[in-house]
């Protein structure tokens, strides 16, 4: 069984700055993989490279046998990768249903079937009752969830979630975690970036740690959180040495 | 609710059909023609400006191309303006392809400036390519009524031609607004990055809308030529482009009926003003236009349609909306 | 000198701070630590008036200031060195410093302040004619500190001054912080570098998910297992 | 082309370019600081020209002394416009920003038409027709005076922006408005000041043009497009870019007017304009990324 997503020797350089260095990663079908790292580790950059928003300077990104590195974002999406944005990008003046339909139109040309698919996805995210509310009037929690719904409506094989928890109050996190679990149970592979560690540790089957643009650790949540190099990256060298 | 909506629609169409018959006053009939005509152009502009979010200040270019192309074919090659209009539409699409490639990646004000410059270049060309366009002297089409010439003795006939165009455009806009293409345009307008992330090829979709809008605008330009039977290079002027955009903005951009509503309000108001005061106080009409524009953009940025919307709005439970409104009020 | 009570703030509908309370006594070095996205920068921005507060009070020198615009707070001597330095890249180092003393309270003593900054930060003096944008990250952070000092602060809020710096500059930054304090300036330091910051400060607060979850003397917090949880979730 | 002709054209081009630069500096300054593209810019020029015209014809002032009245007059006018029309649009969508100033431009033009009629009016004084002979080189005195005054004003602006606290505050606000606020700068006040200053400079340009060109309500439209071309060429927001861009466009205009039909000269600008927008949208001196970032 080969990996759904394969990153090989991926490098991203901005002028003189090497944001991602010789990065390798395999994501198997059906996994939930968390990508963590301190500020400036290159997580969002890596996401943007996979999703086609940044060009990579070296290496290859393969989805299910097809090269998607350096393809424009819309082609990456058509290949089966859907993403959310760290800073939500709602279609402000569209309703929730309409927003989801934009995603659904990718595989369903006529409005009736796009609507059907969109409603089905909204149902899975417990948002049907909001179908006719304008996206701009949603609360942030719901906007984040709408991002997921929109992406899901494109019927992706791989879902990239970029800090969907950020900005949620502590009480709102578990609800979204359940949603992500159920999406994964529905057969969608999930790769996510997250800062809220408690969330990462409960949901991820595997955690990949990025530090200074390089792979620092890769393992189960428990393994990773005990890894002295990870502790050092988060709290400072001396802390790890002293603790 | 739905029934009321359709009833209103039927009433509006009937009113539009018989309205000009009520009067025989030529000035009033002219207003009806102008409302239909500018309503149609503004509806065409709305595809780019309202749905796709590209603030074109150069639609006079397509309007003028339509007028010049059909007139040149008619005068020099005796081609019926009905066909000439189609030719004008094709020429406008070709020019839209060129300007589209230049401007499609520009944002907001820069897109507006580039389209403005494009129309200005055409205006200069029309003034100076005298052999082709008769330069500043303008194009005069001899009055020779006949269906094949698309020249009519009665304003009523012109009115029904314009009304047909207008209804076709409004219907097309409605159809687009509920189809994939329309959803994609709005998605791109609202957030291009997010649209790309959902598999939308934004450049292609925007270009398609530009071509369609250019074609539609050019057809009305040909109509204008046959209606007025005279026009000059000033047809490319920025004022015309601004006016086109203005109708759509005042009425309500990105809505099916907004541009028509804008034209229906502004054309008679300024027409009347001009006829009352135009000779004693030239500029009063433009002054009112400008003042309405500034006030509307600051106080009714979503257009007059947004004021009517509560009358038609379906009743959805506004629970989430209310919450958000409160949050917004706080910020 | 600074008393924050029940502070709530955010961006749009994005609530970041829920209930943040802490004190910065006059003459102290107080530290706020916390993981990414815990709300540290938002706290700084609320204190300086860059964003509006949603609830709670901020008192500075006994007076309530949470409704005042930024420029008034600067006039009171509440000065912030923002996250990411935020120098004016197309201006020279010297111009950046002069802008630091734009506030009326600082203008009178401008030349004196400039001399002090150059003495404290000789590297900055060497670079005074260069464009700020052309400096290395470490040098930029020195300029940012200098620019903050030019405002003659009573309280200097430093938001992650070591972020992204090479170890040698991190070390230098902490030395400078200690130096500033010796000059009688009260400092509120927000840091990711937990160990170093906690060993230096009088009192520290740990922020997690927009709330203060721990507080105490720096050394005391250092040994606490809860701190690691706040960062790594388990 | 003979050497003499070349020099003659170059001189004329540079002189014209100086005035173009002055017309454009206000536009670019306002954009640089406030990120507002002012479509009513040409009408500010027109207001300056009318004010100068009436000061000369009705109040019998010397056209160059009139500058002393025009500059503060337009400054106040700019303040008024900023407080009524511009301020509410700061931070709003593109539609609002573009069409608020487009509407303002229509209003001002129509107001001028109502107040002064469509007549084209020019000054006819000894000084407006005076010529300066430098050997075989002949140039108009008003052109020279306009150029010299434009350069003086530009130099004064540079000194103001570079050497005063307020000038530095203006530049700081342009580069990073929230960091500027942390310096204790009152950003809304800087916006007001910048807009009024930009308007005053444009009015000055109008007054300097008055002895050379004639004024009519639509005169702004002739010059506004030149200003946009200059500003885009020099880089939106760059004052020195506007200076260089103005000189370049002045030279291009005189030479192209000689080589090809002068009627086409405006088309040349626009083509340059479109090429710059496509090839180098930041312009020759434009600063990319000086906009405020989201975080």
The verdict on a CB contact (< 8 Å) between C52 and B331 is yes
* Domain-embedded: residue A42: yes
Neighbours of chain C (3+ CB pairs under 8 A): A, B, D
Question: Rounded CA gap, C215 and C200, in Å?
Answer: 15
Among A85-99, B4-18, C146-160, D52-66, the range scoring the smallest mean pLDDT is B4-18
- Identify the CATH number of the domain in which residue A193 sits: 3.40.50.300
Asked whether residue A243 carries a pLDDT value surpassing 90, the answer given is no
Write out the residue range of the structural domain in which residue A186 sits: 5-80+158-242
**Which residue among A139, A155, A171 closes a domain?**
A155
pLDDT at B101: 84
CA–CA min distance C211, chain B (Å)? 21
CB contact A226 to B (< 8 Å): no
> Looking at residues B104-116, what average pLDDT do you find?
83
* Domain-embedded: residue A86: no
Please state, for a pLDDT cut of 90, what percent of chain B lies above it.
44
**A56 lies in the same domain as A122:** no
Contacts of B284 (CB under 8 A, 6+ apart): B273, B274, B277, B278, D110, D114
Would you place residue B312 in the very low, low, confident or very high pLDDT band (cuts 50, 70, 90)?
low
pLDDT at A236: 62
CB contact D168 to C (< 8 Å): yes
The burial class, CB within 10 Å (0-12 / 13-18 / 19+), for B127 is buried
What does the radius of gyration of chain D's CA atoms come to, in whole angstroms?
Answer: 19
Question: Rounded CA gap, D26 and D78, in Å?
Answer: 11
**Which residue among A131, A155, A179 closes a domain?**
A155
Question: Rounded CA gap, B207 and B101, in Å?
Answer: 8
pLDDT at B327: 41
Of C59, C57, C88, give the one whose Cα is nearest residue C76: C59
Mutation for B interface: D277, D291, D294, most B CBs within 10 A: D277
Beta bridge partners of C80: C157
Question: Rounded CA gap, C69 and C49, in Å?
Answer: 6
Asked whether residue A166 carries a pLDDT value surpassing 70, the answer given is yes
Please give, one letter per residue, the 3-state secondary structure of chain B. CHHHHHHHHHHHHHHHHHHHHCCCCHHHHHHHHHHHHHHHHHHHHHHHHHHHCCCCCCHHHHHHHHHHHHHHHHHHHCCCHHHHHHHHHHHHHHHHHHHHHHHCCCCHHHHHHHHHHHHHHHHHHHHHCHHHHCHHHCEECCCCCECCCCECCCHHHHHHHHHHHHHHHHHHHHHHHCCHHHHHHHHHHHCHHHHHHCCCCHHHHHHHHHHHHHHHHHHHHHHHHHHHCEECHHHHCHHHHHHHHHHHHHHCCCCCCHHHHHHHHHHHHHHHHHHHHCCCCCCHHHHHHHHHHHHHHHHCCCCCHHHHHHHHCCCCCCHHHHHHHHHHHHC
**A72 lies in the same domain as A190:** yes
**Which residue among A155, A173, A189 closes a domain?**
A155
Neighbours of chain A (3+ CB pairs under 8 A): B, C
* C99-116 tens-digit pLDDT: 999 998 888 889 999 999
Asked whether residue C96 carries a pLDDT value surpassing 90, the answer given is yes
Mutation for C interface: A197, A204, A207, most C CBs within 10 A: A197
Sheet of strand A189-193: strand arrangement: A81-83, A158-162, A189-193, A32-36, A206-211, A214-219
Using a CB-CB distance cutoff of 8 angstroms, which residues of chain B are in contact with residue D222? Answer: none
* Domain-embedded: residue A22: yes
Using a CB-CB distance cutoff of 8 angstroms, which residues of chain B are in contact with residue C12? Answer: 331
**Could you tell me which residue, B325 or A102, shows the higher pLDDT?**
A102
Question: Rounded CA gap, A18 and D158, in Å?
Answer: 38
**A64 lies in the same domain as A30:** yes
Would you place residue A17 in the very low, low, confident or very high pLDDT band (cuts 50, 70, 90)?
confident
Q: Select from D171, D181, D185 the Cβ nearest to the Cβ of C50.
A: D181
Residue B231 CA from chain centroid, whole number: 18
* B155-209 tens-digit pLDDT: 888 999 999 999 999 999 999 999 999 999 999 999 999 999 999 999 999 999 9
CB contact B185 to D (< 8 Å): no
**A205 lies in the same domain as A218:** yes
**A187 lies in the same domain as A235:** yes
pLDDT at B185: 95
Nearest chain D Cα to B128, which residue? D263
**A12 lies in the same domain as A75:** yes
**Domains of chain D, first to last:** 3-279 (1.10.3470)
The verdict on a CB contact (< 8 Å) between B298 and D94 is no
Sign of CA dihedral A54, A55, A57, A62: positive
Mutation for C interface: D91, D183, D190, D193, most C CBs within 10 A: D183
Q: What is the ipTM of this complex?
A: 0.83
CA–CA min distance C220, chain D (Å)? 34
Question: Rounded CA gap, B239 and B259, in Å?
Answer: 17
Average pLDDT, rounded, for chain B: 86
pLDDT at C13: 65
Q: From first to last of its 295 residues, what are the pLDDT tens digits of chain D? A: 788 888 888 998 999 899 899 899 999 999 889 988 899 999 999 999 999 999 999 989 898 999 999 999 999 999 999 999 999 998 788 888 888 999 999 999 999 999 998 888 888 887 777 888 888 888 888 889 989 998 999 999 999 998 999 999 999 999 998 899 999 999 999 999 999 999 999 999 999 999 998 999 989 988 888 888 888 888 878 888 899 999 999 998 888 878 887 777 778 878 888 888 777 766 666 544 333 222 2
pLDDT at D110: 92
**A139 lies in the same domain as A185:** no
pLDDT at D168: 94
pLDDT at D288: 43
Would you place residue B310 in the very low, low, confident or very high pLDDT band (cuts 50, 70, 90)?
low
pLDDT at D284: 64
**A234 lies in the same domain as A193:** yes
Residues 60-79 of C with CB under 8 A from D: 69-71, 74-75, 79
The verdict on a CB contact (< 8 Å) between D107 and B294 is yes
Beta bridge partners of B151: B146
Asked whether residue C30 carries a pLDDT value surpassing 50, the answer given is yes
Question: Rounded CA gap, A123 and A139, in Å?
Answer: 18
Cα→Cα distances C14→B183, B262, B287, B327, C54, Å = 27, 37, 43, 10, 11
The verdict on a CB contact (< 8 Å) between B194 and A90 is yes
pLDDT at D285: 61
**Domains of chain C, first to last:** 2-232 (3.40.50.300)
CA–CA min distance A186, chain C (Å)? 27
Cα→Cα distances C119→A231, B2, B116, C124, C181, Å = 38, 78, 56, 9, 15
CB contact A238 to B (< 8 Å): no
Q: Select from A73, A94, A138 the Cβ nearest to the Cβ of B324.
A: A138
The verdict on a CB contact (< 8 Å) between B290 and D110 is yes
Asked whether residue B323 carries a pLDDT value surpassing 70, the answer given is no
**A163 lies in the same domain as A238:** yes
Mutation for B interface: A52, A53, A99, A137, most B CBs within 10 A: A137
Using a CB-CB distance cutoff of 8 angstroms, which residues of chain A are in contact with residue B323? Answer: 139
* Domain-embedded: residue A227: yes
**A234 lies in the same domain as A165:** yes
CB contact B316 to A (< 8 Å): yes
* Domain-embedded: residue A76: yes
Mapped onto helix, strand or coil, the DSSP state of residue A12 is strand
CB contact C54 to B (< 8 Å): yes
**A144 lies in the same domain as A76:** no
pLDDT at B102: 82
* B24-61 tens-digit pLDDT: 787 888 889 999 999 999 999 999 999 998 899 999 99
CA–CA min distance C176, chain D (Å)? 21
CA–CA min distance B157, chain C (Å)? 55
Using a CB-CB distance cutoff of 8 angstroms, which residues of chain D are in contact with residue B234? Answer: none
> Looking at residues C40-65, what average pLDDT do you find?
91
Residues 236-275 of B with CB under 8 A from C: none
Cα→Cα distances A103→A141, A155, B184, Å = 19, 8, 9
Mutation for A interface: B199, B202, B327, most A CBs within 10 A: B199
Give, for C27, the enclosing helix (H) or strand (E).
none
pLDDT at B16: 77
pLDDT at B131: 84
Question: Rounded CA gap, B66 and B208, in Å?
Answer: 19
Neighbours of chain D (3+ CB pairs under 8 A): B, C
CA–CA min distance B331, chain C (Å)? 7
Using a CB-CB distance cutoff of 8 angstroms, which residues of chain C are in contact with residue B321? Answer: none
CA–CA min distance A176, chain B (Å)? 18
Per-position DSSP letters for C44-101, written without gaps between them: HHHHHTSS-EEEEEEEETTEE-TTS-HHHHHHHTEEEE-TT----TTSBHHHHHHHHT
Per DSSP, C38 falls in state: S
The verdict on a CB contact (< 8 Å) between A167 and C14 is yes
Would you place residue B275 in the very low, low, confident or very high pLDDT band (cuts 50, 70, 90)?
confident
**A54 lies in the same domain as A142:** no
* Domain-embedded: residue A206: yes
pLDDT at A215: 86
Per DSSP, C133 falls in state: G
Among B166-180, C42-56, C189-203, the range scoring the smallest mean pLDDT is C189-203
Average pLDDT, rounded, for chain C: 88
Question: Rounded CA gap, A117 and A121, in Å?
Answer: 6
Using a CB-CB distance cutoff of 8 angstroms, which residues of chain B are in contact with residue C53? Answer: none
The verdict on a CB contact (< 8 Å) between D106 and B293 is yes
Please state, for a pLDDT cut of 70, what percent of chain C lies above it.
96
Question: What b/e readout covers C147-156, taking b as 16+ CB neighbours within 10 angstroms?
Answer: bbbbbbbbbb
If one counts the domains in chain A, the total is 2
Asked whether residue C28 carries a pLDDT value surpassing 70, the answer given is yes
* B45-101 tens-digit pLDDT: 999 999 998 899 999 999 999 999 999 999 888 888 899 999 999 999 999 999 888
Q: Residue D287 — left, alpha, or beta (φ > 0 → left; ψ -120 to 50 → alpha)?
A: beta
Using a CB-CB distance cutoff of 8 angstroms, which residues of chain C are in contact with residue A195? Answer: 35-37
pLDDT at B6: 80
Residues 111-170 of A with CB under 8 A from B: 111, 114, 129-130, 132-134, 136-139, 142, 150-151, 153-154
Asked whether residue B280 carries a pLDDT value surpassing 90, the answer given is no
> Looking at residues B124-142, what average pLDDT do you find?
86
Would you place residue C193 in the very low, low, confident or very high pLDDT band (cuts 50, 70, 90)?
confident
Answer whether B33's CB lies under 8 Å from B223's CB.
Answer: no
pLDDT at B317: 39
**Could you tell me which residue, B135 or A107, shows the higher pLDDT?**
A107
Chain A / chain B CB contacts < 8 angstroms:
101
pLDDT at A106: 92
CB contact D158 to C (< 8 Å): no
CA–CA min distance C132, chain A (Å)? 18
The verdict on a CB contact (< 8 Å) between B324 and C54 is no
The verdict on a CB contact (< 8 Å) between B324 and C13 is yes
pLDDT at B26: 79
Backbone angles phi, psi at C217, to 5 degrees: -70, 150
Nearest chain D Cα to B113, which residue? D228
pTM for the complete prediction? 0.86
């Amino acid at each position: 069984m080969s990996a759904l997503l394969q990153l090989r020797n991926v490098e991203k350089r901005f002028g003189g700055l090497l944001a991602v260095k010789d990065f390798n990663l395999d994501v198997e079908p059906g996994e939930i993989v968390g990508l963590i790292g301190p500020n400036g580790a290159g997580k969002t950059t890596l996401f943007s490279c996979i999703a086609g928003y940044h060009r990579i300077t070296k290496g290859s990104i393969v989805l299910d046998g097809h090269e998607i590195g350096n393809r424009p974002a819309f082609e990456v999406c058509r290949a089966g990768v859907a993403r959310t944005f760290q800073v939500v990008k709602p279609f402000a003046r569209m309703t929730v249903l309409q927003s989801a339909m934009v995603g659904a139109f990718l595989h369903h040309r006529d409005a009736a079937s796009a609507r059907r698919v969109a409603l089905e996805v909204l149902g899975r995210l417990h948002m049907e009752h909001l179908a006719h509310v304008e996206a701009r009037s949603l609360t942030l929690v719901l906007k984040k969830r709408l991002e997921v719904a929109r992406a899901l409506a494109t019927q992706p094989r791989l879902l990239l979630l970029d800090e969907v928890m950020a900005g949620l109050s502590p009480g709102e996190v578990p609800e979204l975690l359940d949603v992500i679990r159920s999406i994964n149970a529905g057969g969608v592979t999930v790769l996510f970036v997250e800062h809220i560690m408690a969330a990462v540790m409960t949901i991820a089957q595997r955690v990949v740690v990025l530090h200074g643009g390089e792979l620092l650790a890769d393992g189960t949540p428990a393994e990773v959180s005990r890894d002295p190099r990870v502790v050092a990256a988060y709290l400072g060298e001396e802390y790890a040495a002293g603790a | 609710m739905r029934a009321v909506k359709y009833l209103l629609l039927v009433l509006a169409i009937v009113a539009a059909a018989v309205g000009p018959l009520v009067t025989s006053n030529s000035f009033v009939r002219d207003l009806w023609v102008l409302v239909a005509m500018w309503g149609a152009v503004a509806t065409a502009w709305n595809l780019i400006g309202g749905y796709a979010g590209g603030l074109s200040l150069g639609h006079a270019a397509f309007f003028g191309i339509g007028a010049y192309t059909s007139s040149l074919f008619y005068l020099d090659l005796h081609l019926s303006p009905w066909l000439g209009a189609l030719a004008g539409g094709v020429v406008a699409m070709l020019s839209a392809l060129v300007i589209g490639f230049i401007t499609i990646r520009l944002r907001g004000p820069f897109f507006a400036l580039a389209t403005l410059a494009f129309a200005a270049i055409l205006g200069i060309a029309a003034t100076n390519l005298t052999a082709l366009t008769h330069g500043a002297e303008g194009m005069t089409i001899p009055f020779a009524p006949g269906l094949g010439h698309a020249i009519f003795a009665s304003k009523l006939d012109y009115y029904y031609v314009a009304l047909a165009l207008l209804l076709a455009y409004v219907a097309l806009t409605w159809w687009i607004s509920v189809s994939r293409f329309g959803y994609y345009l709005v998605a791109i307008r609202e957030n291009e990055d997010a649209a790309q992330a959902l598999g939308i090829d934004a450049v292609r979709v925007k270009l398609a809308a530009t071509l369609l809008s250019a074609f539609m605008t050019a057809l009305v330009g040909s109509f204008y030529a046959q209606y007025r039977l005279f026009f000059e290079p000033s047809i490319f002027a920025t004022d015309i482009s601004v006016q086109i955009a203005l109708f759509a903005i005042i009425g309500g951009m990105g809505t099916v009926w907004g541009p028509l509503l804008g034209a229906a309000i502004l054309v008679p108001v300024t027409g009347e003003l001009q006829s009352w005061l135009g000779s004693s106080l030239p500029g009063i009409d433009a002054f009112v236009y400008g003042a309405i524009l500034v006030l509307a953009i600051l106080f009714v940025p979503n257009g007059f349609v947004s004021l009517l919307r509560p009358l038609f709005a379906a009743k959805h439970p506004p629970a989430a909306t209310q919450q958000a409104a409160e949050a917004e009020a706080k910020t | 000198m600074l008393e924050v009570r029940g502070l709530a703030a955010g961006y749009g509908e994005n609530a970041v701070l829920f209930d943040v309370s802490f004190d910065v006594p006059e003459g102290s070095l107080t530290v706020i630590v916390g993981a990414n996205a815990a709300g540290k920068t938002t706290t700084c921005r609320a204190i300086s008036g860059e964003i509006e507060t949603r609830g709670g009070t901020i008192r500075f020198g006994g007076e309530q200031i949470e409704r005042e615009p930024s420029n008034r707070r600067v006039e009171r001597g509440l000065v912030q060195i923002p996250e990411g330095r935020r120098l004016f890249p197309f201006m020279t180092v010297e111009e950046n410093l002069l802008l630091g003393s734009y506030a009326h309270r600082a203008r009178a003593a401008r030349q004196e302040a400039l001399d002090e900054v150059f003495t404290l930060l000789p590297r900055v003096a060497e670079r005074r004619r260069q464009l700020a944008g052309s400096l290395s990250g470490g040098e930029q952070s020195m300029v940012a500190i200098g620019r903050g000092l030019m405002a003659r602060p009573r309280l200097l809020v430093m938001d992650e001054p070591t972020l992204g710096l090479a170890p040698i500059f991190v070390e230098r930054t902490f030395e400078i912080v200690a130096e500033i304090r010796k000059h009688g300036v009260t400092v509120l330091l927000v840091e990711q570098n937990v160990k170093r910051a906690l060993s230096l400060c009088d009192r520290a607060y740990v922020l997690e998910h927009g709330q203060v979850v721990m507080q105490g003397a720096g050394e005391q917090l250092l040994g606490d297992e809860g701190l690691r949880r706040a960062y790594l979730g388990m | 082309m003979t050497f003499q002709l070349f020099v003659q054209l170059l001189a004329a081009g540079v002189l014209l370019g100086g005035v173009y630069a002055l017309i454009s500096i206000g536009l670019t300054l306002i954009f640089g600081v406030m990120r507002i593209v002012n479509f009513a810019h040409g009408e500010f020029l027109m207001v300056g020209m009318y004010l100068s015209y009436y000061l000369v014809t009705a109040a019998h002032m010397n056209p160059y002394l009139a500058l002393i009245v025009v500059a503060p007059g337009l400054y106040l006018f700019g303040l008024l416009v900023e407080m009524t029309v511009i301020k509410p649009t700061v931070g709003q969508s593109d539609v609002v920003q573009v069409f608020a100033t487009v509407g303002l431009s229509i209003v001002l033009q129509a107001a001028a038409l109502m107040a002064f009629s469509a007549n084209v009016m020019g000054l006819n004084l000894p000084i407006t027709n005076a010529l300066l002979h430098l050997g075989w080189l002949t140039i108009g005195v008003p052109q020279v005076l306009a150029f010299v005054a434009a350069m003086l004003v530009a130099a004064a602006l540079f000194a103001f922006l570079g050497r005063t606290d307020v000038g530095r505050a203006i530049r700081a606000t342009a580069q990073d408005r929230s960091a500027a606020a942390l310096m204790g700068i009152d950003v809304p006040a800087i916006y007001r000041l910048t807009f009024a200053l930009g308007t005053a400079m444009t009015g000055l340009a109008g007054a300097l043009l008055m002895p050379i060109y004639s004024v009519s309500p639509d005169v702004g439209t002739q010059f506004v497009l030149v200003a946009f071309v200059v500003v885009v060429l020099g880089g939106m927001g760059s004052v020195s870019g506007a200076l260089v861009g103005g000189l370049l466009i002045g030279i291009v205009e005189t030479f192209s007017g000689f080589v090809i039909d002068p009627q086409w000269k405006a088309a040349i600008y626009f083509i340059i304009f479109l090429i710059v927008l496509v090839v180098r949208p930041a312009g020759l001196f434009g600063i990319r990324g000086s906009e405020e970032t989201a975080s």
